[in-house]
Structure 1
Amino acid sequence: MFVVSLTYKVPEDIVDFHRPAHMAWVKEEFDAGVFLASGRRVPAVGGVLLSGADRATLDASLARDPFYSNGVAEFEIIEFKATSVAEGFENLLDT
């Protein structure tokens, strides 16, 4: 499983300009099963994506993100193995 942390590199008005295309991309990737969760960081300095896809699929997906292709954000990818989860989230366990 992967946590992707996005940090904005440009002023807020540029982020806002690219946000609709980014959100359309996020929806497409949810529909394709790449992402399990997403949201804004607090404070709003970027975002976070949770992915259960393999690394090659995730990398290909991120390369299509308008925030990536337009240099809006830096991406940090953290891989982890979920070994414990709350009840109801057993689908997140690495088997």
Structure 2
Amino acid sequence: MIVVLLSYKVDIAEIDRLRPAHVDWLKQGVADGRLLLAGRQQPVTGGMFLARGSMDEVKAWAAQDPFALEGAADYAFVEVTPSILAPGLEALAQ
């Protein structure tokens, strides 16, 4: 699985303008089985999501994010293999 950290590169007003399309893209990722979770960083300087797939697959998918298409965020990708999970999160190890 891949942890993706987003860092906003533009004013929050531009992020807010793009957010509805970004949220639609995230929801489609859940429906497709690619996205496991997503959320904003606090303070709101970016976001993060956890995605299934190879590094290349997730990078290609993330490149279609409206934030990426508009150059509004930088992306950092970290591949992880879960080995210790809280009860109820066993599916993340698959």
Aligned to 2:22: 22
CA–CA separation in structure 2 for the residues paired with 1:88 and 1:39? 20
Letter aligned with residue 35 of structure 2: F
> What is residue 54 of structure 1 aligned with on the other side?
54
Distance 2:14 2:28 in 1: 22
Question: Percent of aligned positions with the same letter in both sequences?
Answer: 36
- TM-score, normalisation: structure 2: 0.93
TM-score (norm 1): 0.93
Unaligned runs of 5+ in 2: none
Q: Secondary structure at the match of 2:78?
A: strand
Unaligned ranges ≥5, structure 1: none
Deviation at 1:91, TM superposition (A): 1.1
Q: Kindly state the Cα deviation for residue 21 of structure 1 after the two structures are TM-superposed.
A: 0.7
The count of residues paired between Structure 1 and Structure 2 equals: 94
What does 1:47-86 correspond to in 2, within 5 Å?
47-86=47-86
Note if contact 1:33-1:53 (Cα within 8 Å) is conserved in structure 2. Answer: no
